[in-house]
Each structure stands twice: as C-alpha cells, then as structure tokens.
C-alpha cells in the first residue's frame, strides 16, 4: 500500500487551486462540496469559475502563481496542466509542508484524489495510487450502482441515537449487537424506502426494549476459507469475517484471507502442522467455548472446507453440547479447487466413474483405509495431507493391484500465486515429492484424470485461473 488512506477535514479552511480550465473546475466542485473556502489562481479561467467568483463563492486571482499564494492553505491542487508550473507548485508546497496534488502527476503529488462515491456523510473512495485512474472510475461506477441512494439519511439517523445507545449499553458487545439489529432489520429498510418517520419510531422502540443484561454467549461460525485464493471466499464467509470480534484461524489461512476481516478484530493463531501444534484440538475447543461465553462473536476460520478433514464436526459437537449457537459455512475444498486450477476434471466421464477423498493421516497415525477398494480402476483418488506419507501410500496401492504407471499429479499451494503442479506416475510418487521438494500444503491426485495435468508440469510456473 503506497498511500495511507485518510480524509481531510477542510470545512471552512482555505484551499488553493492553480489553473482555470475544465479540470480545475472539477476539482473546485469537490472542494466546495467538502465545505472548503477556495482561492483560484488563473490567468484565463473558464466561465464556470468566473461565475462562482462573481457570486462570491470563491476568490479568483487572475495572474500567475507565486509562492506566497500558499500561505495559510490547508491544501493545494495544481490543475494548470503545464509542466513547469506544476513542478514549481509541487516543490513550493512541499517545502512549506502544504499537502499538494498535481492532477495526473502522482510523482509530483504528496496526496492523490481518489474516485468518490458520495452518500454524505458516508463517503467511499477508490484509489489506484495514480497508476490507473480509469480503473478507479470504473470501480466507482460499480459501487455507485450497489449502494442505496438514501444511505446518508440512514447514517444520520444512527448518529442521532449514538449517545443514547452508548449511555444504555456500556459494553462494546451489547452496543455492537444493537447496531447490527438497527442496520440489518426493518429500521434500515424504512429509511432506504424513504419512510424516515417510521424508522425513527422503530429506533425509539428498539432503544426502549434494550436494557443492560448479563453477558450472553456469543455465536460461533465455523467457516471454510477455501484453498487460499481470497477471491474464492464465499460471500457469507466474507460477511462473517467483517462482523467477527475474534478470528481463530489455522495454518492454511493466509494473510490475504485475513485482510477481509474487520481491522479491529482480535486474531488468534492455532495452526497445526506435522509434529508442531500451536494448540491441541482440546485446547482449541476450550478456547472457542471461553470466547463465546465472554459474549464474543467468533469466527473459527479453517482452510478449505471445515467438514472435509478439517475437524469442524468435532468443534461443532463440542460447542452445541454446551449450549453455544453455531453455524457452519462451507468452503471450496482443496480437491475441487486444486483440480480445477490444474485443469483436472476429477470425474471426467472418459476416465472416472467416482472420486474418493482420503487423508494421509489418521487420528492415531496411519489412516485405516480399504486399500483394495481404493486401488480399483475407473476411480479418482485424492489424498489430503499426504506429502509425508506419499511413499507409504504409493506402495500400499501398488501392493493392492493399482498399476505403477497410473498417472499422478501433485498440486502444491493450489490456486495461490506460488502454485506448482508436478505430474508423473504412481511408481514415481516418492521421487516426485523428494526431487521437487514438495513441502505442502498439497494434494495428490491419483488416477487417469491426473494425466490432464501433464501440460502443467513446468515446475514453478503457476497455472492461472480464469477471472
């Protein structure tokens, strides 16, 4: 992140615009909407600027820029579209500590002006840091279409009750729940439909109905984070991450996924890897219970799908037996995500009549698997957490009748930027893991469908997902 996003309060503050063309006029409109007192320095301003000056809505100085024009300014904008003047204004402003933006010249600017979606007092800004202004404008158009036109009145209604709610609900969790009910229910619907009087009455009723109580147990959501690409999060998962007060997450959950969480959410790492457990499963269960009983909204975030080798079922049972409200949000599991990323159809009709998902690790070590059934033909086998046990898996399958020349594909870090796809045969599997230093997370696909990954065998070159 090159630029730190922030908002200037320029109400009744003096701001300078150098330039008098159409670009300058656009910037003047923005400054005036924010309540600034605007001074324009331009030799030949357009009619719009002249008319605003004639009515006293801005000060117009019809001459060239001089450094003294920066005295007492909250910020300055250069819109003269003249290289030498732009550079002179930039240097003078930065020497004086005046924030300056030179239109379409990020190298000369100390701040950039983003694309703006205005639902006053709600303001959404989109910036490309000056790299792609057209892209920022396109994103603004999409967001404009998504946000209700009456979002501002909804924010103002909430503001009018803030101090009352704060006085009644002294605990953060209680206040948060009040406002979630306010924004997610019929009050918000009334405001957005233009029924502000009805919305105010309902807000009063909600305030009067609420009263301080003892701490109620918070809900727990067991959420699948998918295979690692944040674009593959489900909409519900993203929404819950925004509401969570505490996120308890695993080793397979990367920082790109956690970036979707609320900035003030507490994050607790409980990752487990082979021979290295940050917390045991019993400790994780107890932690989730402790957080819920403290009234926290908890998201238990797991890589892939929490109910596919994720032990989500154990956590669900543990919490429900103790009276905690739990919901489960499935995620895209590694088999389907990595298969798709590698171009492997797990149930391609020419090669596989079924697919079986197995784990390379059981509860007490080696998994108790029916190797004879797993070695049958016209069948795709996907092994999770199988890198360390790959030699054992290959030998067991060969011993039970699966041909050593059966195609295999290893997908490491599937769907991520550092994805690798290694293809070979079942007999070569131990050597593939060893020679290519496969460390995981990875899945192993065994069966004729794995031949489809042959084109992706160029090690270190990720197979891109279409977007």
Catalytic residues: 250, 272
Taken in order 392, 397, 400, 406, is the CA torsion positive or negative? negative
- The whole-angstrom separation of Cα 48 and Cα 66 is 23
Three state DSSP letters for 232-282: HCCHHHHHHHHHCCEEEECCCCCHHHHCCCCCCCEEEECCEECCEECCCHH
Structural tokens at position 285: 């269960």
- The whole-angstrom separation of Cα 346 and Cα 378 is 11
Strand partners, 344: none
Report whether 270 contacts 278 (CB < 8 A): yes
- The whole-angstrom separation of Cα 351 and Cα 368 is 26
- The whole-angstrom separation of Cα 248 and Cα 263 is 15
Strand partners, 222: 300, 328
Strand partners, 357: 382
Structural tokens at position 116: 């703006």
Containing H/E element for 67?
A: none
How would you class 307 by CB atoms within 10 Å of its CB: exposed for 0-12, middle for 13-18, buried for 19 or more? middle
DSSP 420-465: EEEEEEGGGHHHHHHHTT--SSEEEEESGGGGGGGGG-STT---PP
- The whole-angstrom separation of Cα 15 and Cα 74 is 6
- The whole-angstrom separation of Cα 146 and Cα 140 is 10
Report whether 110 contacts 93 (CB < 8 A): yes
Q: Which of 206, 171, 165 is nearest to 185 (CA)?
A: 206
**Helical H runs in 8-132?**
22-33, 47-54, 83-96
Containing H/E element for 410?
A: strand 407-412
């Amino acid at each position: 992140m090159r630029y730190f996003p922030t908002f200037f309060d320029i109400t009744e503050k003096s701001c300078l615009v150098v330039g008098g063309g159409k670009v300058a006029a656009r910037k003047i409109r923005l400054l005036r909407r924010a309540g600034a007192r605007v001074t324009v320095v331009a030799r030949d301003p357009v009619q719009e600027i002249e008319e605003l000056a004639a009515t006293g809505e801005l000060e117009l100085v019809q001459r060239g820029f001089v450094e003294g024009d920066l005295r007492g300014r909250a910020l300055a904008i250069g819109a003269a579209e003249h290289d030498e003047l732009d550079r002179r204004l930039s240097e003078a402003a930065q020497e004086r500590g005046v924030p300056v933006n030179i239109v379409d010249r990020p190298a000369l600017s100390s701040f950039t002006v983003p694309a703006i979606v205005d639902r006053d007092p709600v303001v959404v800004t989109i910036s490309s840091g000056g790299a792609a202004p057209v892209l920022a404008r396109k994103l603004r158009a999409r967001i404009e279409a998504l946000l209700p036109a009456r979002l501002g009145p909804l924010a103002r209604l909430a503001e009018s009750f803030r101090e009352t709610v704060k006085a009644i609900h002294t605990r953060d969790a209680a206040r948060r729940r009040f406002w979630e009910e306010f924004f997610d229910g019929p009050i918000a619907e009334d405001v957005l439909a233009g029924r502000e009087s009805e919305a105010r009455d309902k807000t009063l009723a909600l305030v009067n109905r609420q009263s301080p109580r003892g701490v109620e147990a918070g809900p727990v959501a067991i959420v699948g984070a998918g295979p690692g690409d944040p674009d593959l999060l489900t909409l519900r998962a993203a929404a819950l991450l925004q509401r969570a007060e505490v996120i308890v997450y695993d080793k397979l959950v990367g920082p790109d996924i956690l970036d979707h969480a609320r900035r003030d959410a507490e994050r607790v790492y409980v990752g487990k890897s082979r021979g290295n457990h940050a917390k045991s499963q019993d400790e994780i269960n107890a932690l989730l219970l402790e957080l819920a009983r403290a009234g926290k909204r908890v998201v238990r975030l797991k890589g892939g799908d929490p109910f596919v080798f994720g032990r989500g079922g154990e956590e669900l049972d543990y919490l429900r037996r103790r009276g905690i409200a739990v919901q489960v949000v499935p995620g895209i599991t590694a088999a389907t995500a990595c298969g798709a990323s590698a171009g492997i159809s797990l149930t391609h009709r020419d090669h596989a009549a079924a697919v079986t998902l197995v784990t390379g690790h059981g509860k007490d070590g080696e998994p108790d698997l029916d190797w004879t059934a797993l070695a049958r033909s016209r069948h795709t086998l996907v092994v999770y957490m199988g890198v360390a046990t790959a030699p054992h898996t290959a030998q067991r399958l060969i011993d039970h009748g699966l041909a050593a020349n059966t195609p295999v594909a290893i997908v490491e870090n599937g769907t991520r930027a550092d994805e690798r796809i290694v293809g070979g045969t079942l007999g070569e599997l131990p050597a593939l893991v060893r020679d290519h230093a496969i460390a995981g997370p990875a899945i192993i696909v065994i069966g004729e469908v794995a031949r489809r990954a042959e084109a992706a065998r160029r090690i270190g070159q990720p197979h891109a997902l279409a977007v």
